[in-house]
Amino acid sequence: MLSGAVLGLSPAGAALVIGGCALGVTLRFIARQHLQRASVFCLLFLIYVLVSGLLFGGFDSLSQSSFLGWIGNEGRVFLYYWPALFVFETTCPSDRGVTRVFRWLTIFVFMNTLVNTATGFSTFGTHHAAGAFAAMLVIFNLFRYGKSGNWIDLLCLVMAILALLGSNSRSALLATLVSVILVTISVRRIKQVASMACLAPMAIGIMAYAFPYQFERLQDAANMNTVYAVQENFARAYASNSPIEVAKAWELSETISLQGNANLAIRGYLFGRAYGEFARSPIVGIGFGRFNDIGRNFTGTPGLFFPVTDASFAAPSDQTAHNAYLQILAELGLLGALPLLALYCVMWRGLKHAAQNAPDWSKTGRASLICVCLMGITQHAFGAPIYGLSLFLLAALSFRKAQLAAS
C-alpha cells in the first residue's frame, strides 16, 4: 500500500519502492530456495511476457523511446506484480499497521478529490487511476467497519465512497458495487444487501447533485445507441483482415460509428480488433507489445499461429484494447493467459478456504479480485500498474493474511 501512496507523490519514489520489492523477492528466494504457488504462476506470466517480446519483436519499440518512457507505457506490465510478489514472499504487517496506512491513504485520496487537483499527482492523473484507488479504499473500509463498528472506520468509509463518486470512473463505481454485493450474497448477509438496495436511491440522488459529471457519464453509457455502435464497430473490426491502425484510439472517431457515447463506441472497435487478432493467432498471440504497432506484418497460419514479424512503426505507446482479457489473449494467446488464470484461481481458492479463520480478509480479498476482473472489461486491469498497486495488491495482502491465519 505504501508503494501506491508514494506513487501519488513521486514517480521516482514509486520506482524505488517497486525496485525494492523486486530485490526483496529475489533475496528471499535466494535465502529460502522456495516460492509460494501464487508467486510461481505470477513469475511464469512475467517470464512468458518477456519471451514473447523477445521472440516476436515486441521490444522493437524500445528504439523509439527511452527505457524509462517505455517502461512507463508499453512495458509497465513489468512493474505491476512486484509489490504483490513481495507480499506473497514476506511476512505481512500487522492488522493495526495496515489499518493505519489505509486511514492515511483514505484521507489523502479524499482530500485529493475534494480540492480537485487530481492532475497534480501522478497516481491520480487519470480518472481510471483515481477510481482504482478509491475502489480499493471502499472495499477495505467497508469490511473493516463491518468488523469493528468503529466510528473512525465509518468516517473513512464515507470519505472513500465520496472519493469514488468524485473519481469520474464509471467502471470503478459499477465494479465496486457489484463486487461488494456478490461477496455479501456469498456469505448469506441478505439483510446487508437489502440495506444497500434501500440506500441506492439516496446514493443516486447525491451523485446527481454533488457529482453531475459522473452521473451524466453513467446516463450516457446506458444508451441503446451506444450498444448499437459498440456492436457495429466490434463486427466491423473483427471481420476485417486489415483493421484500422492508429497511434491514438481517438483517431478512430473519424472513420467509425460514434452513436451514443463516443468513448464506448471506440472501445467496441478496439474490442473487435483484439478478438480478431486472438482468433487468428490463438496459441501464442500476435506478440507482446504488438497491439500498439502500426503497419504490422504477420507470418504463419491464420487461425493457429499468426504472430507479428515486424512493423513499419513499433510504437511504445500505452494504447491497449481497453479490455484486459482481450489484450492478454490478443498479444499473448492462450499460453500467456494460462499462468495468469492459474494465479487468480490459486488466490481465489485460498481466500475462499479462509472464510472461517479470516472472514474479513477473505471477503476483502475476494471483493478486490472480482473488482479487478470487472474493471478489466473496459481497461487493461491485468497490465496497468495502478491496478497492481491498488486492488490487486489488496487482494494479495488479503490472501497472505488468510494464509497466515490458516497456518
Q: Are residues 52 and 160 in the same domain?
A: yes
pLDDT grade for 233, boundaries at 50, 70 and 90: very high
- What's residue 198's pLDDT? 67
In this structure, is residue 400 part of a structural domain? yes
pLDDT single digits (tens) 276-314: 999 999 999 999 999 999 999 999 999 999 999 999 999
Q: How many domains does the chain have?
A: 2
Are 327 and 320 a contacting pair, CB within 8 Å?
yes
Q: Is residue 337 included in any domain, yes or no?
A: no
CA distances from 357 to 145, 181, 226, 293, 376 (A): 18, 22, 46, 49, 30
387 occurs within a structural domain = yes
Q: What is the pTM of this model?
A: 0.91
What's the domain range around 148? 2-117+126-214+347-406
pLDDT tens readout for residues 124-183: 567 788 889 999 999 999 999 988 989 999 999 999 998 888 888 888 988 998 999 899
Nearest to 290 by CA among 277, 275, 271, 302: 277
- Residue indicated by cell numbers 494504447: 319
Residues 183 and 87 in one domain: yes
Percent of the chain with pLDDT over 70: 91
Q: Please give the residue that has the higher pLDDT: either 192 or 322.
A: 322
Q: Are residues 255 and 152 in the same domain?
A: no
Select from 293, 279, 291, 268 the least CA-distant residue to 378: 268
Please give the mean pLDDT across all residues of the chain: 87
Please indicate, yes or no, whether residues 26 and 167 belong to a single structural domain of this protein. yes
Per the CB < 8 A criterion, the answer to whether 243 and 208 are in contact is no
Looking at the fold, whether 369 and 280 belong to one and the same domain comes out as: no
Class of residue 219 by CB neighbours under 10 A (exposed 0-12, middle 13-18, buried 19+): exposed
71 DSSP assignment: H
Evaluate whether residue 334 is within a structural domain: no
On whether residue 330 sits in a domain, the answer given is no
Do both 227 and 319 map to the same domain?
yes
CA distance 230 to 268: 4
Same structural domain for residues 7 and 30? yes
Q: Which of 124-128, 356-360, 391-395 has the lowest mean pLDDT?
A: 124-128
Q: How crowded is residue 50: how many other Cβ atoms within 10 Å of its Cβ? A: 15
* Residue 354 shares a structural domain with residue 315: no
Cα–chain-centroid distance for residue 351? 19
Residues 136 and 254 in one domain: no
Task: Name the pairing type of β-strands 294-298 and 308-313.
Answer: antiparallel
Say which residue, 91 or 111, is predicted with more confidence: 111
Residue where a domain stops, chosen among 256, 290, 324: 324
User: Which residue(s) pair with 310 in the sheet?
Assistant: 297
